[in-house]
Structure 1
């Protein structure tokens, strides 16, 4: 299954508390829904469960929050860019725009499922690869590995949002966000933080999957976080 989507990867200001950002995100989600958008949001779990894991060491940056628009009938790019600019303005007291990014593209459901928590892994490709090479390997080779990981036993989902780089950059420029676009965004569902840590300590993930990631992902310029969905 493939669905058009726009996700805003959010980084909060150093002086902004997680509580303040959550309050602002809940209000923003309601504003977007009232305007007719299908909007969802999630915020980072604290304390950071990636501390002490192989992925936590490989990826220095964290995703503080995520705001997504599901787009069954994608509007014109200029309209989307305007919406993101309005979101960035309303969240301006809480976020650091220069460390936020827009990822606009198509989300592929590799494993169907759901869960109260999700890993959001914003990816940038290795400089030796083109975006097209990255996307092909990620979906058709690495995606198969995801189906064999321990996660499958928990019936939780795994999705890949493949970015349209030109569209993502246009949106970011209009909204005053970081212009260095992510190539994609992983969303993988989890039941709780402790089970996530066990999965990410399993050799199939901490060794095999991470080694494969290094063939196409530039971990040092990517960002990761375990987020809690803000439902209702």
Structure 2
């Protein structure tokens, strides 16, 4: 990727870094931290663990993907969490872009596999690319630490200097995640493309709302 531009610090409609909820989230999490790397790590840890991963709350309402909405929710899935991390990084003065890749999950649960129509390929998995110390580093804040513990996988740790992406193997040495296709980085969320690809790969039930969700959603 090329170096950052002014756009990488500018708000988007989804990455609404100037909104009051995103600014409040960013200021709370980065308080007392002046170094950009320390601020980025704190933001990553907060998005990863304060917002629990819930793959059963996938909706098509654009407002649900705005960082200002995500910042006030207790659980969400990888794309909205990446949107929030990107917006919060910009609010903290760190150039950031939304990134996406197709990821194959070798430890899918029966309930989630059923929702996905038997598929194990997660299209448009979200991550954030941050410009720190003169380089882009990628970080995916999707899986909270307690969820990782349930699956026997170390939580993804971010040091602000190296990529923090999905583990290839779990704690027992079994195949866990594999990156199949990189979709690149974006200033803002290409929601129409995301939803369109979801409809190509998954049944319409993938978008059903109203199902109970929360801190046990993934493992029920």
**TM-score under structure 1 length normalisation:** 0.28
Structure possessing the higher relative contact order (Cα contacts under 8 Å, 6 or more residues apart): 1
Compare the two structures and name the one with the higher helix fraction: 1
**TM-score under structure 2 length normalisation:** 0.29
